[in-house]
């Protein structure tokens, strides 16, 4: 679960991480009412779960209550890359001298938390990684040893921080890591982490992702998650006990499998070939042909998804049930999009027999061959 900025900052404050706090409202009238006695100038920020708010007009400034009303009116209802603004936050405008980037994320390769830090904050970390990779510093945290003072000392040296700023960074890092562990986070990001004109560190923006499986131990965040508007296909998938995961809005490929590990492997391999996965769907185990029919229909119902890669290791989920489900989806819902299929396991030969006469369906013998076929058909 991804948190909106205002909720991420509430967590920061709970863990005594220095951050700009804000006033949040669901309408211009409510916002103006709540902001009668605040000091100006302020920053007015759209609350949506997507980047690029500033470029889309979702972050503006106001110098008085009249400007705040006009600015809020212009932001509420704004469509930011498919996300409609329904909440707006007002926060104080901070005078800053420098912007840094700091995050802690769960790294799949090391299976450990990793700190990512750069003195070049305020922009997309992906952009910095491409244009100036030497400016990004990564430190793996051994969960047994934990965070040590020398880590902050090392990062502070890369940003030429003063001794006082090093001490603030060390304290902030420890609090952020405590939050990361206690809140079952997958990502805790501060961008920008500002150095104010008086030399102190301050989190101006925050992005936090929580592991869904840990929400039951976090009652406040669980309540928050139940109030959030869900992607319509996520909600529909839950009705079938599927897990639908939106990935990259610019992608045109969907991946379907029966396990998160298999899905991540597919996404990684597709991404390495400079293609993007738009969404993935985890069917779980033991799916019948009727359920697979609905899974295929659901994930291909997005008009921007042009191709589906199904990668199944058949055990409880039989290969002939997978093939029959694909056939039923094509025949019932008149699906005409390319489907690339790879399965291994129980009743594989029966499954292949079902697939052989289906137009637009291509069987491959493995993940690498499947990705090669995706690349070939995309070029075509």
Close Cβ partners of 323 (under 8 Å, ≥ 6 residues apart): 341, 343, 350, 351, 352, 353, 354, 355
Average pLDDT for the chain = 92
Query: What's the pLDDT at 257?
Result: 92
| 42 has pLDDT over 80 | yes
Longest dimension (CA), the chain: 73
> How remote is the C-alpha of 296 from its chain's centroid?
23
| 32 has pLDDT over 90 | yes
**What CATH number has the domain bearing residue 343?**
3.40.50.261
Higher pLDDT, 40 or 228: 40
Count CB-CB contacts under 10 A for residue 253. Answer: 27
Burial of 36 (0-12, 13-18, 19+ CB in 10 A): exposed
**What CATH number has the domain bearing residue 196?**
3.30.470.20
Query: What's the pLDDT at 28?
Result: 96
Band of residue 355 on the pLDDT scale cut at 50, 70, 90: very high
Close Cβ partners of 290 (under 8 Å, ≥ 6 residues apart): 325, 328
Beta strands 307-314; 253-257: pairing state: parallel
- Is residue 142 in some structural domain? yes
For residues 151 and 60, state if they share a domain.
no
Q: Which residue among 220, 240, 268 closes a domain?
A: 220
Beta strands 185-196; 206-210: pairing state: antiparallel
- Is residue 133 in some structural domain? yes
Query: What's the pLDDT at 317?
Result: 78
For residues 339 and 238, state if they share a domain.
yes
| 216 has pLDDT over 90 | no
For residues 253 and 351, state if they share a domain.
yes
Count of domains in the chain?
3
Band of residue 271 on the pLDDT scale cut at 50, 70, 90: very high
Catalytic residues: 101, 189
- Is residue 3 in some structural domain? no
332-353: pLDDT as tens digits: 999 999 999 999 988 999 999 9
For residues 137 and 212, state if they share a domain.
yes
Band of residue 82 on the pLDDT scale cut at 50, 70, 90: confident
- Is residue 16 in some structural domain? no
300-311: pLDDT as tens digits: 999 999 999 999
Query: What's the pLDDT at 108?
Result: 75
| 60 has pLDDT over 90 | yes
**If you average pLDDT over residues 229-242, what whole number do you get?**
85
For residues 47 and 67, state if they share a domain.
yes
For residues 246 and 368, state if they share a domain.
yes
Query: What's the pLDDT at 255?
Result: 97
Q: Which residue among 43, 76, 92 closes a domain?
A: 92
Q: Which residue among 187, 220, 253 closes a domain?
A: 220
**What CATH number has the domain bearing residue 88?**
3.30.1490.20
For residues 292 and 248, state if they share a domain.
yes
- Is residue 199 in some structural domain? yes
For residues 126 and 100, state if they share a domain.
yes
84-143: pLDDT as tens digits: 899 999 999 999 999 999 999 998 778 899 999 999 988 777 778 778 888 899 999 999
322 touches 353 (CB < 8 A): no
For residues 255 and 374, state if they share a domain.
yes
Range of the domain at 345: 232-379
């Amino acid at each position: 679960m991804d948190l909106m900025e205002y909720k991420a900052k509430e967590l920061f404050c709970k863990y005594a991480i220095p951050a700009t706090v804000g006033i949040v409202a669901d309408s211009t009238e409510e916002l103006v009412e709540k902001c009668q006695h605040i000091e100006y100038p302020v920053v007015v920020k759209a609350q949506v779960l997507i980047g690029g708010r500033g470029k889309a007009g979702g972050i503006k400034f106001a110098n008085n209550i009249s400007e705040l009303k006009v600015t809020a009116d212009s932001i509420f209802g704004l469509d930011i890359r498919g996300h409609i603004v329904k909440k707006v936050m007002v926060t104080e405008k901070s005078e800053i001298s420098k912007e840094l980037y700091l995050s802690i994320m769960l790294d799949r390769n090391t299976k450990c938390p990793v700190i990512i830090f750069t003195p070049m904050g305020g922009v997309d970390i992906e952009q910095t990684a491409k244009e100036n990779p030497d400016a990004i510093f990564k430190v793996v945290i051994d969960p047994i040893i934990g965070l040590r003072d020398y880590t902050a000392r090392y990062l502070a040296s890369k940003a030429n921080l003063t001794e006082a700023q090093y001490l603030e960074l060390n304290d902030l890092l420890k609090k952020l890591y405590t939050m990361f562990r206690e809140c079952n986070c997958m990502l805790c990001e501060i961008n920008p982490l500002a150095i104010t004109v008086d030399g102190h560190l301050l989190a101006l923006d925050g992005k936090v992702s929580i592991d869904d499986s840990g929400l039951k131990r976090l009652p406040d965040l669980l309540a928050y998650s139940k109030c959030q508007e869900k992607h319509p296909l996520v909600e529909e998938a839950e009705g079938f006990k599927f897990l639908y995961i939106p990935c990259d809005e610019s992608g045109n490929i969907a991946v379907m499998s029966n396990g998160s590990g298999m899905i991540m492997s597919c996404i990684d391999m597709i991404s390495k070939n400079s293609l993007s996965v738009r969404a993935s769907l985890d069917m779980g185990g033991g799916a019948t042909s009727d359920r697979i029919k609905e899974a295929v229909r659901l994930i291909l119902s997005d008009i921007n998804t042009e191709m589906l890669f199904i990668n199944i290791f058949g055990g409880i989920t039989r290969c002939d049930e997978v093939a029959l489900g694909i056939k039923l989806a094509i025949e019932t819902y008149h699906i005409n999009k390319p489907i690339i299929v790879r399965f291994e396991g129980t009743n594989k030969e029966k499954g292949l027999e079902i697939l052989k006469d289906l137009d637009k369906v291509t069987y491959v013998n493995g993940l690498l061959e499947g990705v090669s076929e995706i690349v070939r058909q995309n070029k075509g």
